[in-house]
Amino acid sequence: MDPPWMVEIEPGLFLGNMRSSWDLPAIQANNIKAIVSLLHMSAAQWARVWFRGLVTRENHIMIRCVDTLTQDLLQYMGHICDFIDGRLLSTESSQPLEQRPEGPAGDPVTGKSQGSVLIHCEMGISRSATVLIAYLMRKHRTTLQETLELVKQKRKVKPNPNFMDQLKIWGQLEYKIWDDTRKRIPKLLYQEYLDKRAETLKSLGKTGDEPWEDVILSGR
């Protein structure tokens, strides 16, 4: 297993591997106060991890996902971006003031950062890089290629082709993939992706929504 590592992509926002999410010295040194985990394991595996004193349960998102050519990460991108914005508490939020997450008093969250956010998967190459790129695209309103090159200046990343297609859709839909406020009706481009995905799953003999038995891509 690779040693723990995390790299600051921009102030307060770190990309890392799985072991970095358990590395107490690195978490302390980088003032990590929130974590986004993208792994195929259950969130219950973090319940007894000793860094809970530094990163509380409400500041940890666990997205159960796999690095395959059928995994849908688009469905989570908006929620994760909102989570990161709220934890960074940045005045440079990717959302207009009236759309930012609400604080305890019901007012939009503003002010200086109270800590850093770590986004990680197993290797820090595909799943976590995809989510990081999605966040930066929305925050800075930059293209996929511009954002990918920016991240590559800090760390070697390579989202798989499926995730690259999703990031293209994310940008084309201007970071809003749903046609309704209840998030049940996908916009046309997202629906077309879901239809294509369903055909691929069917061809693989899959009947469920998530391809847990699918072959996990190596090196991610």
Active site residue ranges: 121
Sign of the alpha-carbon torsion through 153, 159, 164, 166? negative
Rounded distance, CA 101 to CA 73, Å? 21
Give how far the C-alpha of residue 132 lies from the chain's centroid of Cα atoms, to the nearest Å: 6
Rounded distance, CA 23 to CA 29, Å? 10
DSSP SS3 for 79: helix
Rg, the chain, Cα only: 17
